[in-house]
Amino acid sequence: MKHVSPTEVTGEARVKGPTRRALAKQQTRNKVIAAARQLFSENGYEGATIRDIAAAAGMSTGAVFANFSDKSDLFREIMFSDFSKLVAEMREAAGRARGIEDALLKIFSTGYAFYRTEMPLARAAFSVSWAPQEGELFRKIAPLAETQQLIFEQLNLAVERGELGQEAEVKLRAQMLYEAYLANYPQAIFEGWSLEALQARSRDQIRILLAGARRG
């Protein structure tokens, strides 16, 4: 058995104490987030209450409020973590693409695939994004703006490569591509479109939105 000196024990405890507390706090947060994710998916943003979320997580509403200032804060935390993951996947997919049309299609498809099993949560996100007050905070979630930025960067790269003309109106085109990307979600949410159907529609739309900027 390894001999442990008393000083080492205190040294260890000094390091471990706060870590263990932080760990416990993180576990509580994770439990709340998992319960909230489930309830937002089942009942929508409006339909899910902090009381229900606390009950599902097996804790008091006080414990939830100790970790999140309100429901909107909790929802945005979930969105922040999802969008961060998603935009990293999109960036990676765009890096593997050949040409601008393929890059954009890969970005769109990555999004649709990401939410394929979580359409109710996407639906809740759309609902919040249009709400007067919560919408403004929602739109400030950093990785959300990054998706549009990624499209913008890809268009600029295509101009640099000479794939698109210099006068490609990159800013407007990036915004419209982003709109088109978002506008296809309702097809999946309400009409149950498959990933393949979304891709086919996106490909046509990307072609139309790029056509005016193509060279020659």
Partner 1 sequence: MAGAGLRQSQKAATRQRVLAAARDLFADQGYDAATIRQIAQRAGVSVGSVFTSFASKGQILSEVMQQRLDGLYAELDGVIPHLRGSTADRVRSMFAIHFAFEIRHVQLFLAHIASAYDWTLASGALPFGRNLRLQGLLTDCLSTGVSTGDVDPATDLQGVVDLLMAAYAWTYRLAAWEQASAEAMTAVMDQQIGLIFAGLRPR
Residues that bind partner 1 (CB under 8 A): 43-44, 46-47, 123-124, 126-127, 130-132, 135-136, 169, 172-173, 175-176, 179-180, 182-184, 186-187, 189-190, 201, 204-205, 207-212
Nearest to 209 by CA among 166, 182, 175, 186: 175
Indicate the residue among 8 and 46 with the shorter CB distance to partner 1.
Answer: 46
Q: Which is nearer to partner 1, 142 or 172 (CB)?
A: 172
CA–CA gap between residue 163 and residue 33 (Å, rounded): 44
Of 4 and 167, nearer to partner 1 (C-beta) is: 167
- Looking at beta carbons only, is 8 or 136 nearer to partner 1? 136
What is the nearest approach in angstroms of partner 1 to the Cβ of residue 42? Answer: 9
Q: At closest approach, how far in Å is the CB of 175 from partner 1?
A: 8
Nearest-approach distance from CB 66 to partner 1, in angstroms: 28
Q: How far is the CB of 103 from partner 1 (least distance, A)?
A: 18
Give the CA dihedral 44, 49, 55, 60, nearest 10 degrees: 150
What residues contact 28, with CB distance under 8 A and at least 6 apart?
A: 59, 63, 67
As a whole number of angstroms, the distance between CA 46 and CA 147 comes to 26
The contacts of residue 106 (CB under 8 Å, 6+ apart) are 90, 93, 94, 96, 97
CB of 201 to partner 1, least distance (A): 6
Output 8 or 179, the one with its CB closest to partner 1: 179
Positive or negative, the CA dihedral 53, 56, 62, 68 is negative
Of 20, 22, 23, 57, whose CA–CA distance to 38 is shortest? 57
